[in-house]
């Protein structure tokens, strides 16, 4: 299976919904590495890397879970994998 890196920007009302922690737990379950963090403009940034099908499962999870109703937009793009991460962390 091909390894990919996905960069995601999420806009919506996700503060206080444990979104970052829940995303970290989901990424850990899927065996993914990378990070999630709040940006100064209120959006959330996710950079995740791993097997392509697992990365796509995380992206789908972000859109489908109950928090999906609070999301205004999700922008994402695939990049070349890098050897920067050993785990998935909340920053």
Which tens digits make up the pLDDT trace of 16-51?
A: 668 889 999 999 999 999 999 999 998 999 999 999
Which of 82, 74, 30, 70 is closest to 52 using CA atoms? 30
Domain limits, the chain: 3-90
- Residue positions annotated with a catalytic role: 20, 38
Per the CB < 8 A criterion, the answer to whether 53 and 1 are in contact is yes
Between 1.20.1630.10, 1.10.3720.10, 3.30.70.100, 3.30.930.10, what CATH number should domain 3-90 receive?
Answer: 3.30.70.100
pTM for the whole structure: 0.90
């Amino acid at each position: 299976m091909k390894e990919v890196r996905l960069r995601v920007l999420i806009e919506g009302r996700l503060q206080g919904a444990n979104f970052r922690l829940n995303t970290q737990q989901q990424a850990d379950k899927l065996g993914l590495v990378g990070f999630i963090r709040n940006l100064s403009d209120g959006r959330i940034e996710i950079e995740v890397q791993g097997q392509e099908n697992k990365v796509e499962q995380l992206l789908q999870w972000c859109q489908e879970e109950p928090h999906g109703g609070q999301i205004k937009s999700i922008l994402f793009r695939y990049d070349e994998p890098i050897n920067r991460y050993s785990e998935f962390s909340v920053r």
